[in-house]
A and B are shown apart, each in its own frame.
Chain A
């Protein structure tokens, strides 16, 4: 690395322009030599040349030599797109001792030679214009220093479900103290209510028990049960959080990173398929609870209706987990029905659990009473009681299509078929209907193969409703200044490349609060979020790109409009009552700059003067 070249903003710019042929990618459609010659005529351009490939080693050497031999203090490369190659050329400038913010990229490939392949003359004129614009910008660039911000090596995880516990434990195992905030009185989240889990078919409670115990015992995990986040202030590395519990004093803490793992709820299918209208129409989770409590009513026929309220019916999305849960439940009913059957007395409590007792018609209550009596052997047909063995149970899964993706799920699906679980397809044109035929709960459906309306008497209908966002996710989203997507789930920074990051540095997301996911996926995401959060904490600092807002205190009147428009909370009122930029939190979008009523805010590297000079150079007639 060469010695740092000191560039004073007042120094006369000495610009070097390197025009790239990119083989024939540019050279084949633009007269590169003439463009380089033209560049020499522009103000403050000391040196201009053309390279076959500026990004190749000899091209980079020519930049370094240019800086050394001609004392260049601004470098322009006219070649491809800055989106891919800027870091390379900036590093080259730095290796020659030149501040990387004195580099300007001019795109004459994607924005010129490749889109004007049949217009050599006009394309060449445009390339000249673009370089003239680059020179106008380069003349106004000044060196920038990147700021270092210390990062507090501790975190907070919001939500004590499987994702939250996994994330907290990962960080704790790495040696970082973690606050784990759970609003309920116990850990376990959504999963703690479930009966058994798919693929393993093991008990949910047993599965998460070790996780809960380890979380409770870990010396680096500070548990806050029955607590909620009250406020969050600050930015990456320096968050001041307040955790509040009912009837207890608020706890204040300083943390470096935040992981959001607040989970999801099950959609309550009010008004769909007779839910809350007829007895024994239950949601997936309600069914799991019945199984877990060994409180299933006597059943011969069970209908499971998939996509109840999802995929366009109420919510737009597919809830991802329900197909496999339905298959698992179908197998579970066939295999273990006898073990989960409630005592006749319990049956009563089961039906009372359906929260609409008052809406249930009198005749049904009467029927229920009679059935109870029957089961006690007071009356009723003897053969029905004899039907005991579980293979007599018929399970029908009404589905739009079964998404048993991946390696294990298809096998489980096949297993269900072998156990004679019926899969009946329906289309959105012919949704199944749930109604009472006399005293009999019935599913009416359109048989897609026979093209006939059919009916099926059933004893229970299980509705596979989607996971939905927490209704109060918006409050947390505002507190943390991170976005929610259309459906109210937290929105990651990039759907493919940054799935557990928020766009705001230092805040991460995992589990079902960012969309439906099963336990495997929630654990994967939680581990990922923890390792992402650990990066700045292990490093101990973050380097803020020098692409931020700057407030001119002489112009600022302290009106606070910039604070309102900043999506990152990167501006605050200083002690003087004026706007102040939190450099570590600022992303450099420029919204505050374009908003500031006093014109007191500008962006480093994207000042009004630079943008106007660049654009106005395009309007000039060629010189």
Chain B
């Protein structure tokens, strides 16, 4: 009895502190036809959940490009929830299959950038799964709380890496690869060869890493002209690999070489007129 009372008092004491406790900011992209409707039903059924998710309605989860998600993480979002219809139930027939592929790329880029991929979550919620929606939001909010506030705002180096991931997500190569991924698996390439999913994923992952590193070189050399050695040290990438990336970026006219001291060449990103 006495213990219970003490416990209750202890809890009470915690409350004011609890009120000022950090609350994560979570964006929820919900598709109009299933997950948004599921969230509506959740409300109608009065299932309660934490107040952290701010929903943005989109017609289909397939609308969410990697760029949108990565820019929001760069801007300091603590978590992002993407909600779509169950596979094969998409209002737009195949939309969510593409969402699935894109989410994989986003997570890979988050990992490369050093942001916990667990901050991004994809869930299928049908219009009839009100209770499921409340469970997902509760669980995801807990998960994000455990991860703590996004470090992007306080850590400039991490922010640079996040921007680089965002940049990589907008490159022709990655967008084209992920856009064609499903088609290559299901209907095959122009020669009618169907590609194996694991092989294709390996290929995409390698391309993702390359594009991320190139994008990071651009981000870093936007700040100031840097030498290959310096870039390699900051990025923790072998200098020969950095140089290879720089060769590609120079071919694309995205980076320029400078000789400030007449000895070590340094590189600076060309901000306008870059052709991808």
Closest to A503 in B: B93
Stretch at the interface among B71-79, B111-119, B213-221: B71-79
Tell me, in angstroms, the Cα distance from A123 to B49 when the chains sit together: 11
Q: Does A597 contact B (CB under 8 A)?
A: yes
The reply to whether A115 and B48 contact each other, CB–CB distance below 8 Å, is: yes
Please, which residues of chain A bring their CB within 8 A of the CB of B173?
597
Please, which residues of chain B bring their CB within 8 A of the CB of A529?
none
Q: Which of A163-222 contact B (CB under 8 A)?
A: none
Q: Does B68 contact A (CB under 8 A)?
A: yes
Tell me, in angstroms, the Cα distance from A562 to B179 when the chains sit together: 8
Tell me, in angstroms, the Cα distance from A606 to B173 when the chains sit together: 24
Tell me, in angstroms, the Cα distance from A307 to B60 when the chains sit together: 39
A112, A118, A588, A595: which has the most chain B beta carbons within 10 Å? A595
Task: With A116-B51, A119-B51, A565-B183 as known contacts, state yes or no: A82 contacts B39, CB within 8 Å.
Answer: no
Q: Does B98 contact A (CB under 8 A)?
A: yes
Please, which residues of chain B bring their CB within 8 A of the CB of A598?
172
- Size band of the A side of the interface? 35 or more
Please, which residues of chain B bring their CB within 8 A of the CB of A110?
39-44
Q: How far is the CB of A517 from chain B (nearest CB, A)?
A: 22
Q: Does A288 contact B (CB under 8 A)?
A: no
Q: Does A46 contact B (CB under 8 A)?
A: no
The contact of A608 among B49, B68, B91, B179, by CB within 8 Å, is: B68
Please, which residues of chain B bring their CB within 8 A of the CB of A590?
58-60, 62-63
Tell me, in angstroms, the Cα distance from A111 to B54 when the chains sit together: 9
Q: Which of B98-126 contact A (CB under 8 A)?
A: 98, 102
Q: How far is the CB of B59 from chain A (nearest CB, A)?
A: 5
A119, A503, A587, A618: which has the most chain B beta carbons within 10 Å? A618
Per-residue interface assignment for chain A, residues 39 to 55, with 1 indicating a CB less than 8 Å from any chain B CB and 0 otherwise: 00000000000000000
Q: How far is the CB of B132 from chain A (nearest CB, A)?
A: 14
Q: Does A356 contact B (CB under 8 A)?
A: no
The reply to whether B56 and A615 contact each other, CB–CB distance below 8 Å, is: yes
Task: With A125-B51, A133-B54, A564-B180 as known contacts, state yes or no: A603 contacts B72, CB within 8 Å.
Answer: no
Closest to B39 in A: A111
Task: With A115-B42, A615-B72 as known contacts, state yes or no: A589 contacts B63, CB within 8 Å.
Answer: yes
The reply to whether B93 and A619 contact each other, CB–CB distance below 8 Å, is: no
The reply to whether B27 and A111 contact each other, CB–CB distance below 8 Å, is: no
Q: Does B255 contact A (CB under 8 A)?
A: no
Per-residue interface assignment for chain A, residues 119 to 148, with 1 indicating a CB less than 8 Å from any chain B CB and 0 otherwise: 100110110011001000000000000000
B49, B51, B67, B75: which has the most chain A beta carbons within 10 Å? B51
Q: How many A-B residue pairs have CB under 8 A?
A: 159
The reply to whether B48 and A597 contact each other, CB–CB distance below 8 Å, is: no
The reply to whether A618 and B25 contact each other, CB–CB distance below 8 Å, is: yes
The reply to whether A111 and B43 contact each other, CB–CB distance below 8 Å, is: yes
The reply to whether B65 and A486 contact each other, CB–CB distance below 8 Å, is: no
- Main secondary structure, interface of A, reads helix
Per-residue interface assignment for chain A, residues 602 to 621, with 1 indicating a CB less than 8 Å from any chain B CB and 0 otherwise: 01001010011011101100
The contact of B63 among A109, A115, A129, A603, by CB within 8 Å, is: A603
The reply to whether A594 and B180 contact each other, CB–CB distance below 8 Å, is: no
Q: Does B134 contact A (CB under 8 A)?
A: yes
Task: With A110-B39, A133-B56, A567-B92 as known contacts, state yes or no: A596 contacts B75, CB within 8 Å.
Answer: no
The reply to whether B62 and A564 contact each other, CB–CB distance below 8 Å, is: no
Please, which residues of chain B bring their CB within 8 A of the CB of A587?
59, 92
A114, A125, A589, A614: which has the most chain B beta carbons within 10 Å? A589
Q: Does A561 contact B (CB under 8 A)?
A: yes
Task: With A565-B98, A589-B95 as known contacts, state yes or no: A619 contacts B175, CB within 8 Å.
Answer: no
**Chain B: interface residue total (CB-CB under 8 A):** 56
The reply to whether B93 and A606 contact each other, CB–CB distance below 8 Å, is: no
The reply to whether A114 and B55 contact each other, CB–CB distance below 8 Å, is: no
Q: Does A591 contact B (CB under 8 A)?
A: yes
The reply to whether A597 and B58 contact each other, CB–CB distance below 8 Å, is: no
Tell me, in angstroms, the Cα distance from A110 to B46 when the chains sit together: 8
Q: How far is the CB of A503 from chain B (nearest CB, A)?
A: 6
Tell me, in angstroms, the Cα distance from A117 to B46 when the chains sit together: 8
Q: How far is the CB of B189 from chain A (nearest CB, A)?
A: 11
The contact of B71 among A107, A126, A612, by CB within 8 Å, is: A612
Closest to A610 in B: B56
Tell me, in angstroms, the Cα distance from A109 to B55 when the chains sit together: 12
Please, which residues of chain B bring their CB within 8 A of the CB of A608?
65, 67-68
Tell me, in angstroms, the Cα distance from A223 to B101 when the chains sit together: 45
Q: Does B272 contact A (CB under 8 A)?
A: no
Tell me, in angstroms, the Cα distance from A111 to B55 when the chains sit together: 8
Tell me, in angstroms, the Cα distance from A591 to B62 when the chains sit together: 5
Closest to B179 in A: A595
Tell me, in angstroms, the Cα distance from A119 to B50 when the chains sit together: 9
Q: Does B11 contact A (CB under 8 A)?
A: no
Q: How far is the CB of A491 from chain B (nearest CB, A)?
A: 9
Please, which residues of chain A bring their CB within 8 A of the CB of B42?
110, 115
Closest to A121 in B: B19
Tell me, in angstroms, the Cα distance from A80 to B73 when the chains sit together: 29
The reply to whether A618 and B62 contact each other, CB–CB distance below 8 Å, is: no
Q: Does B88 contact A (CB under 8 A)?
A: yes
Please, which residues of chain B bring their CB within 8 A of the CB of A589?
59-60, 62-63, 91-92, 95
A-B contact pairs, 20 of them (CB 8 A): A81-B36, A110-B44, A115-B47, A129-B54, A130-B54, A564-B180, A565-B182, A589-B62, A590-B62, A591-B94, A593-B65, A594-B64, A594-B65, A594-B98, A599-B67, A603-B63, A606-B59, A608-B68, A614-B56, A619-B72
> Which residues of A does B touch, CB under 8 Å?
81-83, 107, 109-112, 114-119, 122-123, 125-126, 129-130, 133, 483, 486, 503, 547, 559, 561-562, 564-565, 567, 587-591, 593-599, 603, 606, 608, 611-612, 614-616, 618-619
> Which residues of B does A touch, CB under 8 Å?
23, 25, 27, 29, 32, 36-37, 39-44, 46-49, 51, 54-60, 62-68, 71-72, 75-77, 88, 91-95, 98, 102, 134, 170, 172-173, 175-176, 178-180, 182-183
The 6 lowest CB-CB distance pairs between A and B, nearest first, are A110-B43, A590-B63, A589-B92, A595-B179, A594-B65, A618-B54
